[in-house]
């Protein structure tokens, strides 16, 4: 019997909607019994088929006890974002339509949506309008692409074709990055064959931003070695942004490729209130940014952006692997910008999120998150907590009493379920880390959560 697709998909969409409409009323994390959850999904695979409607029923029943309210308004762990209504609906359509976004030939619609969203994005973020945007899985992939394109360029500059000859025997490349860089930079260095030993760490200041005089010293000491400088907009602990306006021209003087990891912090550029934090951003060569964090697009979606579109395409595409970084490609398909060839049409959700918000709405999302982070800091301070960072963006680092108690407090907060916060180690101290990046979070959510954190600390 043919499945009733409309009923099946409607049922799935309704379950997703139900989860979200009730997410604020449930404990943020259910802490299910892992054995029960494994059992609900487990057992031997039966031999015969199962009716699709029954499969969906089974999945809903098995998964529901283990669903976390990451999409809800009081999840402040990691930098998790949310998923806006239109972006989520667009993502449902992307599944229903099942388009492969490799090229115009595969899906004219997916390609047109990505190209339109890409143009909006570069304008919103103040990047060169000619920059190329690859729709990748997240900032890990985006950083890897940025470093791959940089590798191509800096080695071509010294007459080495890494696409053809690889790294064996190549002149050594230095990756200069702050000691507060995100771990995805190290993984990219491993995956790209540089190895983590090629990373030259630069000391950072009190807020975790690169110390520019130290950067100058590090570049000087490299004596003209091919270099990729990896800067950061949005430290995962403090939210601090490197001084891009000072650091990028300095790196360029040394002939370096400059990549900016702005997984969430790049969105500061979208608001007049926070844009000064990332002044000089547009001077870089490549940028990595997530859509699934602060833009509130469903997982998984990041953007690998490159000022030199031709070099981006010639480095990443398969057809042009013989090109040596001449930037000769003027016409590329979307699959030339990403490590994947066949992939989900991620552009529909990004397009929808931007359409839903408008440019003022994106700025407002950034501003509101920052204001709510400030509010959290103030409420906690009023309750006797200590804030360990300048709350310039959406990140707050907190201790209440002796930082040695931090993990116990976090555990109580998480088990209580009013909100969810994680922990971090910052400058040797165990701290509570609060990240505000969900568009549905309200002042009341912040107040409720601050009270819950203070109450847990008082227990
Ligand atoms: C989250 C984050 C990453 C990694 O992003 P994914 O989307 O998880 O791949 C990289 N850098 C920074 C600064 C981040 O916050």
Nearest-atom index, ligand 1, CA of 236:
15
- Which residues does the chain have with pLDDT short of 70? 1, 319-330
Determine if ligand 1 sits within 6 Å of the CB of residue 282.
no
Nearest-atom index, ligand 1, CA of 182:
11
Nearest-atom index, ligand 1, CA of 140:
9
CA-to-CA distance for 418 and 30, rounded, in angstroms? 11
Determine if ligand 1 sits within 6 Å of the CB of residue 136.
no
Nearest-atom index, ligand 1, CA of 235:
13
3-state secondary structure 302-356: EEEEECCHHHHHHHHCCCCCCCCCCCCCCCCCHHHCCCCCCCECCHHHHHHHHHH
Which of 302, 437, 291 is CA-nearest to residue 367? 437
Q: What is the reported pLDDT for 25?
A: 95
Neighbouring CB atoms inside 10 A of 156's CB total 20
Gap from CA of 5 to ligand 1 centroid (Å): 36
- Residue 101, both tokens: 């976004």
Determine if ligand 1 sits within 6 Å of the CB of residue 140.
yes
Cβ–Cβ < 8 Å for 116, 109:
no
Gap from CA of 184 to ligand 1 centroid (Å): 7
Determine if ligand 1 sits within 6 Å of the CB of residue 79.
yes
Nearest-atom index, ligand 1, CA of 265:
13
Which of 172, 186, 156 is CA-nearest to residue 308? 156
| CA angle (81, 352, 309) in 5-degree steps | 90
Query: Quick check: bond before 300 cis, omega within 30?
Result: yes
Determine if ligand 1 sits within 6 Å of the CB of residue 236.
yes
Determine if ligand 1 sits within 6 Å of the CB of residue 261.
yes
Q: What is the reported pLDDT for 48?
A: 97
Determine if ligand 1 sits within 6 Å of the CB of residue 139.
yes
Determine if ligand 1 sits within 6 Å of the CB of residue 295.
no
Determine if ligand 1 sits within 6 Å of the CB of residue 184.
yes
CA-to-CA distance for 211 and 247, rounded, in angstroms? 9
Q: What three-state secondary structure class fits 135?
A: strand
Q: What is the pLDDT of residues 41-64, one digit of tens each?
A: 999 999 999 999 999 999 999 999
CA-to-CA distance for 169 and 173, rounded, in angstroms? 11
Residue nearest to atom 5 of ligand 1 (CA): 139
Residues with Cβ < 8 Å from 42, sequence gap 6 or more?
none
Sign of the dihedral through C-alpha 204, 210, 215, 218:
positive
CATH placement of domain 89-352: 3.40.640.10
Residue nearest to atom 1 of ligand 1 (CA): 263
Gap from CA of 170 to ligand 1 centroid (Å): 29
Nearest-atom index, ligand 1, CA of 262:
13
Gap from CA of 235 to ligand 1 centroid (Å): 10
Q: What is the reported pLDDT for 183?
A: 97
Q: What is the pLDDT of residues 151-175, one digit of tens each?
A: 999 999 999 999 999 999 999 999 9
Helix ranges restricted to H, 98-229? 108-124, 139-156, 162-165, 183-191, 212-221
Determine if ligand 1 sits within 6 Å of the CB of residue 290.
yes
Gap from CA of 48 to ligand 1 centroid (Å): 41
Half-sphere exposure of 424 (CA within 13 A, CB side): 22
Q: What is the reported pLDDT for 410?
A: 98
The model carries a pTM of 0.96
Cβ–Cβ < 8 Å for 225, 149:
no
């Amino acid at each position: 019997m043919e499945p009733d697709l409309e009923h099946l998909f409607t049922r799935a969409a309704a379950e997703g909607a139900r989860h979200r409409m009730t997410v604020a009323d449930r404990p943020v994390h259910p802490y299910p019994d892992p054995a029960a959850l494994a059992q609900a999904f487990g057992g031997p695979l039966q031999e015969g088929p199962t009716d699709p409607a029954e499969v969906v029923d089974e999945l809903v029943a098995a998964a529901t006890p283990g669903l976390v309210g990451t999409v809800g308004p009081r999840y402040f762990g990691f930098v998790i974002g949310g998923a806006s209504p239109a972006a989520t609906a667009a993502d449902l359509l992307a599944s229903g339509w099942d388009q492969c976004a490799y090229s115009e030939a595969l899906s004219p619609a997916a390609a047109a949506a990505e190209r339109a969203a890409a143009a909006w994005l570069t304008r919103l973020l103040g990047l060169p309008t000619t920059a190329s945007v690859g729709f990748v899985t997240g900032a890990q992939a985006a950083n890897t692409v940025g470093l791959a394109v940089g590798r191509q360029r800096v080695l071509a500059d010294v007459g080495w074709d890494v696409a053809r000859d690889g790294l064996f025997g190549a002149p050594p490349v230095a990756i200069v990055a702050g000691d507060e860089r995100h771990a995805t930079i190290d993984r990219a260095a491993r995956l790209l064959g540089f190895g983590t030993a090629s990373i030259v760490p630069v000391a950072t200041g009190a807020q975790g931003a690169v110390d520019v005089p130290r950067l100058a010293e590090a570049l000087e000491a490299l004596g003209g070695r091919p270099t990729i400088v990896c800067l950061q907009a949005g430290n995962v602990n403090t939210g601090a942004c490197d001084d891009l306006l000072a650091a990028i021209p300095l790196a360029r003087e040394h002939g370096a490729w400059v990549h900016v990891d702005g997984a969430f912090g790049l969105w500061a550029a979208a608001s007049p209130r926070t844009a000064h934090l990332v002044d000089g951003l547009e001077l870089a060569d490549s940028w990595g940014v997530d859509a699934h964090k602060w833009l509130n697009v469903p997982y998984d979606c990041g953007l690998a952006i490159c000022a030199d579109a031709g070099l981006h395409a010639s480095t990443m595409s398969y057809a042009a692997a013989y090109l040596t970084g001449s930037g000769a490609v003027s016409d590329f398909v979307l699959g030339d910008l990403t490590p994947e060839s066949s992939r989900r049409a991620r552009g529909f959700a990004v397009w929808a999120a931007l359409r839903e918000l408008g440019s003022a709405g994106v700025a407002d999302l950034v501003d509101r998150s920052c204001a709510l982070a400030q509010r959290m800091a103030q409420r906690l301070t009023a309750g006797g907590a200590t804030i360990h960072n300048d709350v310039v963006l959406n990140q707050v680092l907190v201790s209440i009493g002796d930082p040695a108690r931090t993990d116990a407090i976090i555990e109580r907060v998480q088990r209580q379920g009013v909100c969810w916060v994680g922990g971090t180690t910052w400058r040797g101290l165990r701290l509570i880390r609060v990240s505000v990046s969900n568009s549905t979070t309200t002042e009341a959510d912040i107040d409720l959560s601050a009270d819950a954190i203070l109450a847990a600390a008082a227990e």
